[in-house]
Amino acid sequence: MAVPFTGGCACGAIRYECTAEPLYMGNCHCRDCQRATGSAYFPAVGMATTAFRLLTGTPAVYEKLADSGHTMRRMFCGQCGAPVFLTNSARSNLVVLYAGSVDDPSWIRPTRDIYTASAQPWDHLDPTLPKFPQMPPR
């Protein structure tokens, strides 16, 4: 993995740069993430906010109350609709990238599956990753 690394939306209107290695990488299988990605799960790359910089564009924002009771803010491109990153009011020091928004996601290695109680039966979860039916303890 090369640092810094960059990413953005499908049309290029939103671009970002990350200047440190991720704090974590994992897959979220909650229904909210399934709906937000249009897929079986959300491959997430957690970054310190101090290592994340928006280079161009102003993302559109969708806010929703998470299961935890905290506000989840999903940032996406208002032009192409691609999801780019999210924040959660419970962890103001964290920006979570959609793995598919990273320019070269080949280095991403998820380390856990969370909210597996909501995982779809047609999805094939990696048997080597730890599984958590809900959010694991910090």
- Helix (H), strand (E) at residue 36: helix 31-37
Note the CATH number of domain 5-132: 3.90.1590.10
Asked if 10 and 96 count as a contact pair (C-beta separation under 8 A), the reply is no
What is the Cα–Cα distance from 115 to 135, expressed in whole angstroms?
A: 6
In the chain, where are the structural domains located?
5-132
- Helix (H), strand (E) at residue 35: helix 31-37
- Where b means 16+ CB within 10 Å and e means fewer, 52-91 reads bebeebebeeeeeeeeeeeebebbbbeeeebbbbbbbeee
70 or 13, which is more confident: 13
Reported pTM: 0.93
Residues near 1 by Cβ (< 8 Å), separated by ≥ 6? 21, 107
For residue range 29-78, what is the model confidence (pLDDT) as tens digits?
Answer: 999 999 999 999 999 999 999 999 999 999 999 999 887 788 999 999 99
Asked if 84 and 75 count as a contact pair (C-beta separation under 8 A), the reply is yes
DSSP for 8-30, written as a single string = E-SSSSSEEEE-S--SEEEEE--
24-28/42-48 β-pairing = antiparallel
